[in-house]
Chain A
């Protein structure tokens, strides 16, 4: 399925996201997430900003627009980055389409 900015995503129920010491940590709950054993996931500040907006209600375009306004960054670059991040998270089954 091709990813577009009009799609809505939410965190998978097969992972648990935690914030420890300002680090966002995503812990796989089930088998088959990730490519290697003992794997955790973390994100940088902007990745965290995307993650916190993934509620299954907002489209990726709405999230990108919000981020562009918040970070005063060009919308085109932000949209590309949001798509890239979500593509990776979908591949790893960390987020699911709604």
Chain B
């Protein structure tokens, strides 16, 4: 007997169970540019909008199409278009539709300041799975203190309202940084009032991909202290509730990798990967270390996925300082430490990062003591 076809929500799809049984591609990030029209103090990637060298190195729509074909062939269902600011590219609509026509579910990260009529028509007819917009502030003063671009708040406000007015699915998020710290309660309230399903904020900053010391100094200056991070999380009942509920899963002696010198215990290169603006394949969006990236302009995604990734994930540490500390730490799930972030902080994949450590310990203390519980 022939059954009717089935339609179902994505999360209920039986394919995911099949994919879990082997190391399959599920999603990937595509940074179509590293350039941005804003100059946010905390950003790890933004290059000037007029950076000719960066623009010249960007993937063409044809190259993106070829790489997306390969990703789809490997089973990818989701792609996140990010940047830089993706709408800086005049050919964004072409890239977006190219990815849609591969049968990929397309999400977009944008600051919403460059939305034109053309983009709105595109998103209305061919809806992205979602659009994520970061809210740097809900007043002009705070927003533009972060972005360092006069007029950016008005452009953001206009763009966001156009998305919402047109019924485009928008998710709002915030970075918790020094420049907007005092306005965070208002930012959170604004995001919760306007986002459809969830709101999240990120209080942890990692350093820049290009290692520029002046810009890294600006990022460090934007970092909140461990006490401030914890205070923010304690004030967020939803977030704190999840952390406490998952306490036993997040802090566990089994996470201490005693006797194991492998660097990668995270999910990098398992199920997802990133493609940089210049076609460099990375196991995750933060992993830029020399020897851990693969040039897709010179090779294939299948080669990267099946042969290059396992070689990177097999890397080991011989640094006693690491093997005696981070490698054995049961707080790893509360910590921003990972080989990628360690490299950005210290230049080494197994570098120890005291700031991350301090934040993780402060978070663990609150969760374990149950502080702030009603």
Which residues of B have CB within 8 Å of A16?
100-103
Docked complex Cα distance between A50 and B9 (Å): 23
At the interface, yes or no: B314 with Cβ under 8 Å from chain A? no
Docked complex Cα distance between A17 and B11 (Å): 18
Chain B positions 89-134 with a Cβ under 8 Å from a chain A Cβ: 100-105, 124-127, 129
Interface of B is mostly: loop
Q: Please give me the 8 A-B residue pairs with the lowest Cβ-Cβ distance, nearest first.
A: A81-B2, A16-B103, A46-B2, A18-B103, A27-B103, A38-B10, A21-B18, A43-B5
Docked complex Cα distance between A82 and B2 (Å): 8
Q: Is the CB of B3 within 8 A of A18?
A: no
- Neighbour of B9 across the interface among A18, A23, A39, A43, CB < 8 A: A39
At the interface, yes or no: B77 with Cβ under 8 Å from chain A? yes
Chain A 1-43, CB-CB to B under 8 Å as 1, else 0, gives 0000000000000001110110101010111001111111111
A13 to chain B, nearest CB (A): 10
**Chain A residue with Cβ nearest B76:** A20
Which residues of B have CB within 8 Å of A43?
5-6
Range of interface residues on chain A? 20 to 34
Which residues of A have CB within 8 Å of B235?
none
Q: Is the CB of A31 within 8 A of B125?
A: yes
Beyond known contacts A18-B103, A20-B77, A47-B5: 14 more, CB 8 A cutoff: A20-B75, A21-B19, A21-B24, A23-B15, A29-B100, A29-B126, A31-B126, A40-B10, A42-B5, A43-B5, A50-B2, A81-B1, A88-B4, A88-B5
Q: Is the CB of B127 within 8 A of A31?
A: yes
Among B3, B9, B75, B124, the most chain A Cβ lie within 10 Å of the Cβ of B3
Which residues of A have CB within 8 Å of B102?
16
Docked complex Cα distance between A29 and B1 (Å): 30
A41-B18 CB under 8 A given contacts A16-B102, A47-B2: no
* B-binding residues in A (CB < 8 A): 16-18, 20-21, 23, 25, 27, 29-31, 34-44, 46-47, 50, 77-78, 81-82, 84-85, 88-89, 92
At the interface, yes or no: B7 with Cβ under 8 Å from chain A? yes
Q: Is the CB of A40 within 8 A of B3?
A: no
Q: Is the CB of B9 within 8 A of A38?
A: yes
Q: Is the CB of A40 within 8 A of B7?
A: yes
**Chain A residue with Cβ nearest B22:** A21
Chain B positions 66-90 with a Cβ under 8 Å from a chain A Cβ: 72, 75, 77
Docked complex Cα distance between A36 and B107 (Å): 18
Which residues of A have CB within 8 Å of B124?
31
Q: Is the CB of A89 within 8 A of B5?
A: yes
Q: Is the CB of A44 within 8 A of B2?
A: yes
Which residues of B have CB within 8 Å of A46?
2-3
At the interface, yes or no: B14 with Cβ under 8 Å from chain A? yes
B308 to chain A, nearest CB (A): 22
Which residues of B have CB within 8 Å of A92?
7
Chain B 14-53, CB-CB to A under 8 Å as 1, else 0, gives 1100110000100000000000000000000000000000
Among A34, A47, A77, the most chain B Cβ lie within 10 Å of the Cβ of A47
